[in-house]
A and B are shown apart, each in its own frame.
Chain A
């Protein structure tokens, strides 16, 4: 095989990998070509490992890589699985977004202050498409869904503990003359926030708005927020929610979630979350928000156990239930009863105002 063919072959392979969702960017292709150069180009195992070590970056990449490798080097084309079409309601503004000051009558994006006030308190399940669009617009403006914790690092302050390093340094600078004392105190850092949004059938009037709330949370603290959807399967959607534009993010999320409007197996999913992510540290010291109505099919003992586990790991467990605000609501569903002993804050989540309150609970936790 001439070297040129090797490069062509590997570039083609990288294209196949990209189509399957492995991030085989040019820098990595370069690395693979380099790696193959140190091994035997004609040995399939060597080529396999050269590619796997340079192209993959996550355990999830490995099965995809294996599939592509088998397909590409045996001459077949890899099949790229298409996900179901997005069931999410992406309501575009009725009028094209006008320039500032362009206030055509009927444009939904110009609601008056009092209209917004009324809208804030309305249950999102009972909104017209135009009102929904307005709620979405207001949710996109929410930019403080963050929490703080004390860091181990210090920062200079006027009071606090004596900062010996800085003090001595300033003495040194002045040739040994003691000029004053420096103090330091602990800095604050963002605390991790994990949102688990129930997207099962009974939650469908709220899932969309809750995911938009999650989007606002991811945007306000991109490095310390994680979002999962739960239904019949647990899906990590943080990456999808990193899109800046809310509608684009929602489209990506809806493509990523395979189980919209199905049943709920919250206990099992919480267990999966804790096994795969939480136990290893994602839930440790974090604020974990579960947005669900607590409709659990089947046995709720598992949910209770997992909530107990979560409660031990997390800094604070917040449960947001859209039905909580309904007059006469009593947490009587099996799931809710099993979970409540391990919930620190039990809040609503049915309206814009309730979500703002949820943001406040997260911020003060």
Chain B
């Protein structure tokens, strides 16, 4: 449904235009992801990103905020997260102080005192409320709901409610409505099934590990100091490692860490000796390291 509001800064003409804007901030997206972001902005629907750890889900939200030049508000989910930690809370100690101060000053107008107690300045905004409050038509905040699969399902149901009407009602203050919905990015590592009702509100995108060429481009972009051959070798080795059926296949983050480690050691090429001492930057399990070493580190570089 086309919106007839004034064109905000967040409006891009096409997925390609958005993809180029992301690239200016060193995030290289593929066609699917660019389309997902484009539609997310246009349709004002949350993006639901799933994929292995380290494929760039969180990074996308950060980059979107940079591209739109708006604040990024992050809600990290965990078991036991509840509404008070996600929405708002009253600052009780300050309220109490206010009360004592008024008492000391001899204020007797009870009604005034009461209404003062639930003033906006005593309300502590948590991420969701912050996102609604700071989103304006021209500058919608980017709200990152990170690792929703870690929160309990009660929280999921609650989030669904917030994401469907973008209003929060505070009993003492009234309803707080966003001028426009923030740009929402929800990420999940798939540790558990997220409820379909939540996914239905969103655009769903599954992120894969990048193809060789894109990974080379990403590393080159982020690590300008690395030599071309080093970058290609790292990307090739990372791709081979992902096929090895490891406990934790390296993500882009690991490729970048590895390159950084190699550059720091002054390597211009990836040879088995230097690979052996820097393997800790890519592999995060003892079993994985043992496996790669047993298979011969040299096998990682064939034809790279």
A residues contacting B by CB (< 8 A) are 23, 25, 27-28, 31, 34-35, 37-39, 45-46, 49-50, 52-54, 56-57, 59, 62, 151-153, 164-165, 168-169, 171-172, 175-176, 189, 223, 275, 279-282, 284
Contact = CB atoms under 8 A, between A and B. Distances in A.
Cβ-closest 4 pairs across A and B: A281-B191, A152-B80, A49-B35, A168-B92
Contacts of A57: 196, 199-200, 204
A62 B206 contact: yes
A46 B35 contact: yes
B163 to A, nearest CB: 14
A35 B42 CA distance: 9
Contact of B35 (A53, A151, A153): A53
A23 B245 CA distance: 30
B114 to A, nearest CB: 9
B146 interface: no
Contacts of A176: 96, 99-100, 103
Contacts of B149: 281
B50 A59 contact: yes
B191 A282 contact: yes
A361 B149 CA distance: 28
A289 B203 CA distance: 36
Q: Output the residue of B36, B90, B149, B204 with the most chain A CB within 10 A.
A: B204
A59 B204 CA distance: 10
Nearest to B247: A279
A171 B92 CA distance: 10
B32 A52 contact: yes
Q: Output the residue of A25, A50, A62, A172 with the most chain B CB within 10 A.
A: A172
Contacts, number: 94
Contacts of B247: 275, 279
26 contacts: A31-B45, A31-B203, A35-B203, A38-B2, A38-B43, A39-B35, A46-B35, A49-B35, A52-B32, A53-B32, A53-B35, A53-B36, A53-B39, A54-B203, A57-B199, A59-B190, A152-B79, A164-B92, A168-B93, A168-B95, A172-B92, A172-B96, A172-B99, A176-B100, A223-B153, A280-B189
Contacts of A31: 43, 45, 203
B152 A49 contact: no
Contacts of A53: 32, 35-36, 39, 203-205
B117 interface: yes
A122 to B, nearest CB: 37
B109 interface: no
B38 interface: yes
B12 to A, nearest CB: 11
A168 B100 CA distance: 13
Interface of B: 1-2, 15, 31-32, 35-36, 38-39, 42-43, 45, 50, 78-80, 82, 90, 92-93, 95-96, 99-100, 103, 117, 149-150, 152-153, 189-192, 196, 199-200, 203-206, 245, 247-248
Contact of A59 (B45, B92, B100, B206): B206
A39 B100 CA distance: 60
A38 B203 contact: no
A336 B205 CA distance: 42
Contacts of B15: 39
Nearest to A152: B80
Contact of B152 (A37, A189, A279, A284): A189
Given A57-B204, A59-B50, A152-B79, 4 more contacts: A35-B43, A37-B1, A49-B35, A176-B103
Nearest to A25: B200
Nearest to B47: A53
A6 B80 CA distance: 45
A37 B38 CA distance: 12
Given A62-B206, A153-B82, A171 B199 contact: no
Contacts of B199: 57
A189 B80 CA distance: 10
Contacts of B191: 280-282, 284
B78 to A, nearest CB: 8
A23 B196 contact: yes
A176 B97 CA distance: 10
Contact of A34 (B1, B80, B200): B1
Contacts of B92: 164-165, 168-169, 172
Contacts of A46: 35
A228 to B, nearest CB: 13
